[in-house]
Structure 1
């Protein structure tokens, strides 16, 4: 299995690198793990749903 760094995933998903790191820390990206100081994310990982949008839609 091939892995991407948080920076590469951030570019792929069009979000910040820090946001990808937070998603990894929260366990929201399946298969992601930390190797030394770098997050490694499976190449075929799916972007988690943005919870902020779900809450906003629920209030409408």
Structure 2
């Protein structure tokens, strides 16, 4: 699709996992991202969101 990339392509571009990109899209943190069937499409010029939140805190005992 012209002008858009997949979550997997965005993950490679941004240096994160494709799952992390999917989570960012689901949380509406990637402007212009939308879902087509089962895949996220992201504008080619979308910037990596800053301040990625972690859904679960790890405890060090």
TM over 0.5: yes
- Residue 50 of structure 1 deviates from its aligned partner by 1.8
Q: TM-score, normalised by structure 1?
A: 0.81
**Contiguous gaps of at least 5 residues in structure 2:** 54-61
Q: TM-score, normalised by structure 2?
A: 0.80
- Aligned pairs, number: 52
Matches within 5 A, 1:9-28: 9-28=10-29
Alpha-carbon separation, structure 1, partners of 2:8 and 2:52:
22
Displaced runs of 4+ in structure 1, greater than 2 A?
none
**Contiguous gaps of at least 5 residues in structure 1:** 53-60
Aligned alpha-carbon RMSD (Å):
1.2
